[in-house]
Amino acid sequence: MTGIRKDLKGRQFGRWKVIRQDKTKTRSYSYWICRCECPLMTIRSVRGTPLLSGESTSCGCLKRSKIKKTLPLGKVPKYRTKLYKAWSEMKRRCENKNCTSWKYYGDKGIVVCDEWHDFEVFKAWSDFNGYDRGMTIDRIDSNGNYEPNNCEFVTRSENTNRMHRDKKRRIKGVTK
């Protein structure tokens, strides 16, 4: 680089605060030791041209914070929760003829009650009735609908045991 180099020491560029010139980099460009004023206080050698042009304004924290502003810290969108997926699957197997489980649910006339078509109502019922991440929804009467008085949350192994027990009863011709 030809010409006079600007002294950037002490200047602020976005979140970058220039501490001193980086003398370890002896290329034709000037490099500056900068400290980012984010909680991490990252220190990095940054080329002068991107600083002056506004191309480099932080250690990457500004980009990350813009992404995180869409949701509060630690908050997961409801469609990514296990409960939402369980609710969605429950409705799908009862209402979607293209679902592989349709023949065991919707085709047999099993439906989801009207009030549970609203996820927030279903979530409130679930929270009140002991829902935990490792549990699945189970119908007490396997021929009944998905509705508050016929459903409960059980562990996966409990649910599997019930399915095998009910299958054995159907094979022997005994109905519950």
Show the tokens assigned to 92. 């799908």
Q: Which pLDDT belongs to residue 6?
A: 80
Tens digit of pLDDT for each residue in 28-49?
788 999 999 887 888 999 999 9
Reported as a pLDDT band with limits 50, 70 and 90, residue 135 is confident
Can you list the alpha helix ranges (DSSP code H) found in 80-138? Answer: 82-95, 119-128
> What letter does residue 6 receive in the DSSP assignment?
P
Q: What's the whole-number mean pLDDT along residues 47-54? A: 91
The CA distances from residue 24 to 20, 29, 32, 33, in Å, are 12, 12, 10, 10
Q: Which pLDDT belongs to residue 33?
A: 93
- Angstrom distance (rounded) from CA 124 to CA 118: 10
Burial of 16 (0-12, 13-18, 19+ CB in 10 A): buried
Tens digit of pLDDT for each residue in 56-107?
988 888 776 665 555 555 565 676 788 999 999 999 999 999 999 999 999 9
Which has the minimum average pLDDT: 18-27, 114-123, 141-150? 18-27
Return the higher-pLDDT residue of 141 and 5. 141
Percent of the residues in the chain that have a pLDDT greater than 70, as a whole number: 79
The answer on pLDDT for 118 being more than 80 is: yes
Structural contact between residues 35 and 41, judged by C-beta atoms closer than 8 angstroms: yes
- Angstrom distance (rounded) from CA 129 to CA 132: 9
Instruction: Output the pTM of the full model.
Output: 0.52
Q: What's the whole-number mean pLDDT along residues 134-150? A: 90
